[in-house]
Chain A
Amino acid sequence: MNWVVFLLVSWVTLGLELGLRPSIQLGDSGMAPSFALILVAYIALTAPRVTALWAAMLIGIVLDLTSERLSSSGMSTLTIVGPTALGCMLGASAITNLRAMVYRRSPITMLMLATLLSVIVQIVVVACLAARSWWDPSLVFHARPEFAARLGSAAYTGVAALVVGPVLNFLTPLFGFIGMHQPRGGSASRW
């Protein structure tokens, strides 16, 4: 993978995500698509496994660093690094295990995999924050209502992948993935 292209695309994607999310969320529900997670799903679908995991971790760390949670007092914020990064890695790992069974260029594939990855990320984030809230008094976390909103965001991310996925597929030659993978017993066109 061409890491320069990856960093440039990540920069644009993360900037778009942070700038657009408040405007495209559903009402005040906090449900909004994540373009960065679609990028993680795309990389996991296309890049070698270890490369995909490194890329997922990098994007996850930036998402964690740009994320803020109110402290229990409600008068300050917490920056928690780790939950999204771990979720992205787990999600990317799941996709790299599944990708031999899917047709990469199909928009439905991106919808399904982006939704799957988002759901995995949200499960890991909720699990990490719930566990942390047991012994960290500065964090108050209500898992059930938050998980519902996060699942809504995951579904919304899947829908957004129908639009973002083809754009990323269009950029595939720039990433330098072509010919990198040969599916076992299959042709390169399947990828």
Chain B
Amino acid sequence: MPRGLFSPTRTLTVATLALVVLALAPHRTTSWLRGIKTPVEFVLSPVQHPTSIIAHFLRPPRIHGDSDDETIRALRLELDRWRAAYAETDGRILELERLLRDLQSGAALPSTLDVVQIAAPVVGAPSDLTDGLLRVRAGFDRGVVERSTVAATRGVHLVGRVVEATRGMCSVLPVTSRRAGLIDAVVLTADGLGPWACQLEPAGDGTLVGDMVAEAQGLVVGQVVSVRDRAWPIGAQGLILGRLSAIETKPNGRLRIVVTPDQPASTVGEVILRSPRMIDSGGSTP
């Protein structure tokens, strides 16, 4: 064997060439790299997790419009839970009516879905913050399902959707991230005329903006906006997106709203993951 074949400089050159290939190769040829990621994260987690706990302790979550009074905070949270439950039930009634029509027309009903909730800490973010992803310490081993599991704070405030799940860890794309896309929602009004539908998109500054349906009326700043989007998992239906922080009338007479989440995604320290759980027609869970 010639001397210097495995010299540090030569090995470095070969490693650099390999990195160039990996950096430019299409994803379908490099998807195996995800397998290396899990052990690397496992090794880093003993430092990463305590650090994120300390960071959340030093910089507690900012909750918009929250009161210093413990009783008022508790009442407000309770009110939000009832609002989310109302929005979910209202959406469920519409869904059941649609289902009833499907059944009457002969469509089969193979199964239905329930939601299981998993509490998990947010342990930081990927080293690249571009997409605003959050890393949460719960993976497919705890029932997290990619694209079907959603994350919420305080049980009722939607944070985002799980876009990747490995053993012990998952990534959540916040609903306010620029890449999150459009989401259908309803504004819950106090006058009983609503709820009014709207379609929201991330503004890029942590808020959501969108137009109301033409007949919407009675909107007031501070009203709650809930998810009602069939493209989102069942666990997200009825969850609170935020509150109306601005309402303006467009030249065509339609109302344009700005929705601000109660808690910015970057300050969330713990989430409730809501995963679907299949229930067979007999009602038992597998």
Instruction: List which B136-172 residues lie within 8 A (CB) of chain A.
Output: 146-147, 163-164, 171
For residue A69, CB closer than 8 A to chain B, the reply is: yes
Query: What's the tally of chain B residues with a CB closer than 8 Å to chain A?
Result: 67
Instruction: List which B7-52 residues lie within 8 A (CB) of chain A.
Output: 8-9, 12, 15-16, 19-24, 26-28, 30, 33-34, 36-37, 40-41, 43-52
Roughly how many angstroms separate A36 CA and B48 CA in the complex, as a whole number? 13
For residue A182, CB closer than 8 A to chain B, the reply is: no
Contact B163 A77 (CB under 8 A): yes
Q: How far is the CB of B235 from chain A (nearest CB, A)?
A: 16
For residue B206, CB closer than 8 A to chain A, the reply is: yes
Using a Cβ cutoff of 8 Å, how many contacts connect chains A and B?
181
Roughly how many angstroms separate A55 CA and B96 CA in the complex, as a whole number? 60
Give the interface SS of chain B, mostly helix, strand, loop or mixed: helix
Contact B51 A22 (CB under 8 A): no
Instruction: List which A44-81 residues lie within 8 A (CB) of chain B.
Output: 50, 53-54, 57, 61-63, 65-71, 74-81
For residue A149, CB closer than 8 A to chain B, the reply is: yes
Contact B12 A75 (CB under 8 A): no
Contact B27 A138 (CB under 8 A): yes
Other-chain contact of B36, A28, A36, A65, A77 (Cβ < 8 Å): A65
For residue B181, CB closer than 8 A to chain A, the reply is: yes
Contact A21 B129 (CB under 8 A): yes
Contact B132 A85 (CB under 8 A): no
- B266 surroundings in chain A (CB, below 8 A): 22-23, 25, 28
Looking across the interface, which residue of chain A has its beta carbon closest to that of B54? A19
- B173 surroundings in chain A (CB, below 8 A): 70, 74
Instruction: List which A124-180 residues lie within 8 A (CB) of chain B.
Output: 128, 131-132, 135-136, 138-139, 146, 149, 153
Return 24 A-B CB contacts under 8 Å, by A number.
A18-B44, A19-B49, A19-B124, A21-B129, A28-B176, A50-B8, A50-B12, A57-B16, A65-B33, A65-B36, A66-B37, A67-B128, A76-B163, A76-B164, A77-B163, A79-B30, A80-B23, A81-B19, A81-B30, A82-B19, A84-B127, A131-B24, A138-B26, A153-B129
Q: B-side interface residues toward A, CB under 8 Å?
A: 8-9, 12, 15-16, 19-24, 26-28, 30, 33-34, 36-37, 40-41, 43-52, 54-56, 58-59, 122-135, 146-147, 163-164, 171, 173, 176, 179-181, 204-206, 264-267
